[in-house]
Amino acid sequence: MDTQLFLSGVIFGLSIGSIFFLMAIGLSLCFGLMRVISLDQLLYYSIGAYITYSLSLALGSVWLGVLGGMIMGGLASFAVERFIFRRIYERDVTFSMITTFGILIGGVGIIKSIWGLVPRPVPVPISTQIDIAGTAVPAYRLIVIVVAIAVYGAIWLFLNRTIVGKAIRAGIEDVEHVEGLGINVYRLFTITFIIAGVLSGLAGGLHAPLIMVDPVMGLEVLAFVFMVVIIGGLGSIKGTLVSAFLVGQVVSLGSLVYAPLAQMAPFAIMLLILLLKPTGLYGSPLLKR
Protein backbone atom coordinates (compact mmCIF):
# COMPACT_ATOMS: atom_id res chain seq x y z
CA MET A 1 0.00 0.00 0.00
CA ASP A 2 1.56 3.31 -1.08
CA THR A 3 1.69 6.40 1.14
CA GLN A 4 -0.96 8.37 -0.76
CA LEU A 5 -3.46 5.53 -0.64
CA PHE A 6 -2.77 4.99 3.06
CA LEU A 7 -3.21 8.69 3.89
CA SER A 8 -6.44 8.84 1.90
CA GLY A 9 -7.67 5.80 3.80
CA VAL A 10 -6.82 7.40 7.15
CA ILE A 11 -8.70 10.62 6.29
CA PHE A 12 -11.66 8.60 5.02
CA GLY A 13 -11.65 6.55 8.22
CA LEU A 14 -11.52 9.66 10.42
CA SER A 15 -14.44 11.24 8.56
CA ILE A 16 -16.56 8.09 8.80
CA GLY A 17 -15.57 7.76 12.45
CA SER A 18 -16.71 11.36 12.99
CA ILE A 19 -20.17 10.49 11.64
CA PHE A 20 -20.29 7.39 13.85
CA PHE A 21 -19.37 9.53 16.86
CA LEU A 22 -22.14 12.07 16.23
CA MET A 23 -24.67 9.25 15.91
CA ALA A 24 -23.42 7.21 18.85
CA ILE A 25 -22.91 10.00 21.37
CA GLY A 26 -26.65 10.53 21.77
CA LEU A 27 -27.28 6.82 22.24
CA SER A 28 -24.47 6.63 24.79
CA LEU A 29 -25.75 9.62 26.76
CA CYS A 30 -29.32 8.32 26.78
CA PHE A 31 -28.24 4.93 28.09
CA GLY A 32 -25.81 6.41 30.60
CA LEU A 33 -28.41 8.69 32.17
CA MET A 34 -31.74 6.92 31.60
CA ARG A 35 -30.74 3.30 30.92
CA VAL A 36 -32.69 3.54 27.68
CA ILE A 37 -31.37 1.99 24.46
CA SER A 38 -32.47 4.80 22.15
CA LEU A 39 -32.42 3.20 18.70
CA ASP A 40 -34.69 6.02 17.53
CA GLN A 41 -31.52 8.16 17.31
CA LEU A 42 -30.97 6.51 13.93
CA LEU A 43 -34.34 7.86 12.82
CA TYR A 44 -33.25 11.42 13.66
CA TYR A 45 -30.08 10.74 11.67
CA SER A 46 -32.23 9.87 8.65
CA ILE A 47 -34.48 12.89 9.23
CA GLY A 48 -31.43 15.16 9.35
CA ALA A 49 -30.21 13.77 6.03
CA TYR A 50 -33.58 14.17 4.28
CA ILE A 51 -34.17 17.67 5.64
CA THR A 52 -30.68 18.59 4.40
CA TYR A 53 -31.60 17.20 0.98
CA SER A 54 -34.91 19.08 0.81
CA LEU A 55 -33.58 22.43 2.07
CA SER A 56 -30.50 22.25 -0.14
CA LEU A 57 -32.83 21.95 -3.13
CA ALA A 58 -35.18 24.68 -1.94
CA LEU A 59 -32.62 27.17 -0.64
CA GLY A 60 -29.51 26.21 -2.58
CA SER A 61 -27.42 25.88 0.58
CA VAL A 62 -26.34 22.57 2.09
CA TRP A 63 -25.23 24.31 5.29
CA LEU A 64 -28.73 25.71 5.86
CA GLY A 65 -30.01 22.21 5.18
CA VAL A 66 -27.70 20.80 7.87
CA LEU A 67 -28.97 23.44 10.31
CA GLY A 68 -32.56 22.54 9.45
CA GLY A 69 -31.76 18.86 9.92
CA MET A 70 -30.39 19.56 13.39
CA ILE A 71 -33.50 21.51 14.35
CA MET A 72 -35.88 18.83 13.05
CA GLY A 73 -33.86 16.10 14.75
CA GLY A 74 -34.15 17.97 18.05
CA LEU A 75 -37.89 18.59 17.62
CA ALA A 76 -38.57 14.96 16.70
CA SER A 77 -36.60 13.67 19.70
CA PHE A 78 -38.43 16.11 22.00
CA ALA A 79 -41.81 14.86 20.76
CA VAL A 80 -40.83 11.20 21.15
CA GLU A 81 -39.46 11.77 24.64
CA ARG A 82 -42.48 13.73 25.77
CA PHE A 83 -45.21 11.45 24.40
CA ILE A 84 -43.57 7.99 24.48
CA PHE A 85 -40.53 7.77 26.73
CA ARG A 86 -42.22 9.47 29.67
CA ARG A 87 -44.42 6.37 29.80
CA ILE A 88 -41.68 3.74 29.66
CA TYR A 89 -38.83 5.06 31.82
CA GLU A 90 -39.67 2.60 34.58
CA ARG A 91 -39.76 -0.40 32.25
CA ASP A 92 -36.91 -2.82 31.56
CA VAL A 93 -34.07 -2.00 29.16
CA THR A 94 -35.30 -4.68 26.77
CA PHE A 95 -38.73 -3.07 26.60
CA SER A 96 -37.21 0.32 25.75
CA MET A 97 -35.05 -1.24 23.04
CA ILE A 98 -38.05 -2.93 21.42
CA THR A 99 -40.08 0.29 21.67
CA THR A 100 -37.37 2.45 20.12
CA PHE A 101 -36.81 -0.08 17.35
CA GLY A 102 -40.53 0.13 16.61
CA ILE A 103 -40.24 3.93 16.48
CA LEU A 104 -37.34 3.58 14.06
CA ILE A 105 -39.22 1.20 11.77
CA GLY A 106 -42.35 3.38 11.89
CA GLY A 107 -40.29 6.45 11.10
CA VAL A 108 -38.73 4.72 8.10
CA GLY A 109 -42.24 4.10 6.81
CA ILE A 110 -43.13 7.79 7.22
CA ILE A 111 -39.95 8.81 5.39
CA LYS A 112 -40.84 6.47 2.53
CA SER A 113 -44.33 7.96 2.29
CA ILE A 114 -42.96 11.52 2.13
CA TRP A 115 -39.79 11.19 0.03
CA GLY A 116 -40.35 7.87 -1.73
CA LEU A 117 -38.05 4.90 -2.14
CA VAL A 118 -35.53 6.31 -4.61
CA PRO A 119 -32.15 7.31 -3.06
CA ARG A 120 -31.48 11.05 -3.31
CA PRO A 121 -28.11 12.80 -3.89
CA VAL A 122 -26.98 15.84 -1.90
CA PRO A 123 -24.23 18.03 -3.41
CA VAL A 124 -20.95 18.42 -1.57
CA PRO A 125 -20.89 22.04 -0.34
CA ILE A 126 -17.11 22.36 -0.74
CA SER A 127 -15.35 20.68 -3.64
CA THR A 128 -11.87 22.01 -2.76
CA GLN A 129 -9.01 19.55 -2.46
CA ILE A 130 -6.26 20.18 0.10
CA ASP A 131 -2.77 18.84 -0.46
CA ILE A 132 -1.42 16.89 2.54
CA ALA A 133 1.99 15.26 2.09
CA GLY A 134 1.42 15.09 -1.67
CA THR A 135 -2.07 13.60 -1.33
CA ALA A 136 -5.18 15.47 -2.46
CA VAL A 137 -7.68 15.30 0.41
CA PRO A 138 -11.29 16.56 0.08
CA ALA A 139 -11.71 19.63 2.27
CA TYR A 140 -15.26 18.61 3.18
CA ARG A 141 -14.07 15.43 4.91
CA LEU A 142 -11.63 17.49 6.97
CA ILE A 143 -14.49 19.81 7.94
CA VAL A 144 -16.53 16.81 9.12
CA ILE A 145 -13.61 15.70 11.31
CA VAL A 146 -13.18 19.19 12.78
CA VAL A 147 -16.92 19.44 13.51
CA ALA A 148 -16.89 16.11 15.38
CA ILE A 149 -13.91 17.18 17.51
CA ALA A 150 -15.57 20.55 18.18
CA VAL A 151 -18.77 18.78 19.25
CA TYR A 152 -16.77 16.58 21.61
CA GLY A 153 -15.17 19.68 23.13
CA ALA A 154 -18.53 21.43 23.47
CA ILE A 155 -20.12 18.40 25.15
CA TRP A 156 -17.16 18.09 27.54
CA LEU A 157 -17.45 21.75 28.51
CA PHE A 158 -21.22 21.43 28.91
CA LEU A 159 -20.95 18.38 31.16
CA ASN A 160 -18.07 19.72 33.24
CA ARG A 161 -18.58 23.50 33.35
CA THR A 162 -22.35 24.04 33.54
CA ILE A 163 -24.78 23.28 36.36
CA VAL A 164 -27.13 21.32 34.10
CA GLY A 165 -24.23 19.40 32.60
CA LYS A 166 -22.86 18.49 36.03
CA ALA A 167 -26.32 17.29 37.05
CA ILE A 168 -26.48 15.09 33.96
CA ARG A 169 -23.00 13.73 34.66
CA ALA A 170 -23.97 13.01 38.25
CA GLY A 171 -27.15 11.34 37.03
CA ILE A 172 -25.10 9.03 34.84
CA GLU A 173 -23.29 7.88 37.98
CA ASP A 174 -26.35 7.70 40.29
CA VAL A 175 -29.70 9.09 39.14
CA GLU A 176 -31.39 8.31 42.47
CA HIS A 177 -28.87 10.45 44.35
CA VAL A 178 -29.52 13.37 41.99
CA GLU A 179 -33.26 12.96 42.41
CA GLY A 180 -32.78 12.95 46.18
CA LEU A 181 -31.19 16.41 45.94
CA GLY A 182 -34.47 17.79 44.64
CA ILE A 183 -33.44 18.02 40.99
CA ASN A 184 -36.14 17.31 38.42
CA VAL A 185 -34.57 14.33 36.69
CA TYR A 186 -37.26 14.20 34.01
CA ARG A 187 -36.18 17.66 32.88
CA LEU A 188 -32.63 16.34 32.62
CA PHE A 189 -33.98 13.43 30.57
CA THR A 190 -35.69 15.84 28.18
CA ILE A 191 -32.58 18.00 27.79
CA THR A 192 -30.44 14.93 27.13
CA PHE A 193 -32.88 13.62 24.52
CA ILE A 194 -32.97 16.94 22.69
CA ILE A 195 -29.15 17.15 22.65
CA ALA A 196 -28.98 13.58 21.34
CA GLY A 197 -31.57 14.29 18.63
CA VAL A 198 -29.79 17.45 17.49
CA LEU A 199 -26.46 15.62 17.21
CA SER A 200 -28.06 12.72 15.33
CA GLY A 201 -29.63 15.22 12.93
CA LEU A 202 -26.21 16.85 12.53
CA ALA A 203 -24.70 13.45 11.71
CA GLY A 204 -27.31 12.86 9.02
CA GLY A 205 -26.86 16.30 7.52
CA LEU A 206 -23.08 16.03 7.37
CA HIS A 207 -23.18 12.48 6.02
CA ALA A 208 -25.73 13.25 3.29
CA PRO A 209 -23.23 14.77 0.80
CA LEU A 210 -20.98 11.70 1.19
CA ILE A 211 -23.64 9.09 0.40
CA MET A 212 -26.99 8.69 -1.33
CA VAL A 213 -29.77 9.60 1.10
CA ASP A 214 -31.93 6.50 1.51
CA PRO A 215 -34.98 5.68 3.71
CA VAL A 216 -33.18 2.75 5.39
CA MET A 217 -29.86 4.54 5.88
CA GLY A 218 -30.36 4.43 9.65
CA LEU A 219 -30.80 0.68 9.65
CA GLU A 220 -27.68 0.26 7.50
CA VAL A 221 -25.42 1.83 10.14
CA LEU A 222 -27.18 0.31 13.16
CA ALA A 223 -24.55 -2.39 13.75
CA PHE A 224 -21.64 0.06 13.51
CA VAL A 225 -23.22 2.52 15.95
CA PHE A 226 -23.83 -0.28 18.44
CA MET A 227 -20.21 -1.36 18.11
CA VAL A 228 -18.98 2.17 18.76
CA VAL A 229 -21.04 2.50 21.94
CA ILE A 230 -20.11 -0.95 23.25
CA ILE A 231 -16.39 -0.66 22.47
CA GLY A 232 -16.11 2.81 24.00
CA GLY A 233 -18.10 1.99 27.13
CA LEU A 234 -21.72 2.82 27.85
CA GLY A 235 -22.14 6.42 28.98
CA SER A 236 -18.52 7.42 28.24
CA ILE A 237 -18.07 10.48 26.01
CA LYS A 238 -14.33 9.97 25.63
CA GLY A 239 -14.80 6.28 24.94
CA THR A 240 -17.38 7.01 22.23
CA LEU A 241 -14.98 9.34 20.40
CA VAL A 242 -12.03 6.94 20.62
CA SER A 243 -14.05 3.90 19.56
CA ALA A 244 -15.73 5.82 16.71
CA PHE A 245 -12.36 6.74 15.23
CA LEU A 246 -11.11 3.19 15.83
CA VAL A 247 -14.07 1.62 14.02
CA GLY A 248 -13.78 4.19 11.22
CA GLN A 249 -10.13 3.31 10.67
CA VAL A 250 -10.81 -0.42 10.77
CA VAL A 251 -13.57 -0.04 8.17
CA SER A 252 -11.51 2.23 5.92
CA LEU A 253 -8.09 0.58 6.04
CA GLY A 254 -9.61 -2.89 6.17
CA SER A 255 -11.42 -2.25 2.88
CA LEU A 256 -8.11 -1.24 1.28
CA VAL A 257 -6.40 -4.45 2.35
CA TYR A 258 -9.30 -6.84 1.70
CA ALA A 259 -12.84 -5.60 1.06
CA PRO A 260 -14.72 -8.09 3.33
CA LEU A 261 -12.58 -6.87 6.25
CA ALA A 262 -14.59 -3.64 6.24
CA GLN A 263 -17.55 -5.64 7.55
CA MET A 264 -15.84 -8.37 9.59
CA ALA A 265 -12.95 -6.59 11.33
CA PRO A 266 -15.03 -4.21 13.53
CA PHE A 267 -16.89 -7.19 15.01
CA ALA A 268 -13.59 -8.93 15.71
CA ILE A 269 -12.24 -5.80 17.42
CA MET A 270 -15.39 -5.53 19.53
CA LEU A 271 -15.19 -9.16 20.66
CA LEU A 272 -11.50 -8.83 21.52
CA ILE A 273 -12.03 -5.68 23.59
CA LEU A 274 -15.02 -7.18 25.42
CA LEU A 275 -12.96 -10.27 26.26
CA LEU A 276 -10.22 -8.09 27.75
CA LYS A 277 -12.52 -5.47 29.32
CA PRO A 278 -16.23 -6.33 29.43
CA THR A 279 -17.28 -2.74 30.23
CA GLY A 280 -15.57 -1.34 27.13
CA LEU A 281 -12.52 0.90 26.86
CA TYR A 282 -13.72 3.62 29.23
CA GLY A 283 -16.93 2.18 30.63
CA SER A 284 -17.74 1.85 34.31
CA PRO A 285 -19.60 -1.07 35.93
CA LEU A 286 -23.33 -0.98 35.21
CA LEU A 287 -25.31 0.45 38.10
CA LYS A 288 -28.79 -0.72 38.89
CA ARG A 289 -31.54 1.83 38.54
Give tens-digit pLDDT for 77-105: 999 988 888 887 777 778 888 898 999 99
Count of Cβ atoms closer than 10 Å to residue 129 Cβ: 12
The percentage of the chain sitting over the pLDDT mark of 90, rounded to a whole number, equals: 41
Give residue-wise pLDDT tens across range 233-251.
877 788 889 999 998 998 8
What pLDDT is recorded for position 154? 92
Angle between helices 163-173 and 185-207 (to 10 degrees): 100
Residue 100 · residue 39 · CB < 8 Å: yes
- pLDDT at residue 287 above 50? no
Give residue-wise pLDDT tens across range 188-224.
888 888 999 999 999 999 999 999 999 999 998 888 8
CA proximity to 131, closest of 31, 4, 243: 4
Q: SS3 sequence, 202-223?
A: HHHHHHHHHCEECCCHHHHCHH
- pLDDT at residue 109 above 50? yes
What DSSP state is assigned to residue 85?
G
What pLDDT is recorded for position 289? 43
Residue 168 · residue 33 · CB < 8 Å: yes
Confidence band, pLDDT 50/70/90 cuts, at residue 29: confident
What DSSP state is assigned to residue 235?
T
Give residue-wise pLDDT tens across range 248-282.
998 888 887 777 767 788 888 888 888 888 878 88
What pLDDT is recorded for position 230? 86
CA proximity to 253, closest of 21, 22, 11: 11
In what helix (H) or strand (E) does residue 151 lie, and over which residues does it extend? helix 139-161
Q: How far is CA 1 from CA 6, 192, 258, 286, in A?
A: 6, 43, 12, 42
Q: Which amino acid is at 163?
A: I
Parse the chain into domains and list their residue ranges.
Answer: 17-217
Question: Whole-angstrom Cα distance, residue 128 to residue 124?
Answer: 10
